[in-house]
Amino acid sequence: MKLIAQGAEAKIYESGSKIVKDRIKKGYRLPEIDKKLRRTRTRAEARLIRMASRAGVPVPKILEVDDKQMKLEIENIEGSKVRDVLTPEMCKLIGKELLKLHKANIVHGDLTTSNMILRGKEVVLIDFGLSQYSEKVEDKAVDIHLFKECLKSKHFDIWLSCWKHFLQSYKSKDILKRLEIVERRGKYKH
């Protein structure tokens, strides 16, 4: 297995046609609390990926959930990170997939172009480590806000065109109206 990424919660390994997400122990937590948290988060991530798949959202297949070792094995998606190949047209696909995700009451929690892979002509959403089930319009608006901020900071030269294309396919008036409120709130926090 080859280590390909490490975050605050997990080490990510590539092993042929699969990706292994290994939730790491936190020495500062009581062992029994640490174990319970890691087990719960591993199960929750797998459950949310399966829910997203049932909703028709392109996501990696779950191959194995080992909640004793706190490991999640998923399909290794062949393709390019969207952050490296983003076009405004691609944002229509992203809007379509995100709308399906939100209709299934799943909030991604880390919706950046680094957590999307272009496989053929579809955008596959990956890394559901911060995802949650939520029926709240506010949570979904915050998800979109994060995506918009990603566009502005990482794709500043084409972000506006990308955003317009995204809005052509993400058609949820309630959530977009809440997004305006979220953004107004953020402007005056200084």
Residues recognised as catalytic: 110
Q: How far apart are CA 154 and CA 149, in angstroms?
A: 8
Beta bridge partners of 122: 119
Q: What is the DSSP letter of 77?
A: -
User: What are the Cα distances from residue 135, in Å, to 44, 115, 172, 184?
Assistant: 16, 22, 14, 22
Q: How far apart are CA 154 and CA 144, in angstroms?
A: 15
Query: Which residues are within 8 A (CB) of 46 and not within 5 positions of it... i.e. 6 or more apart?
Result: 62, 65, 72
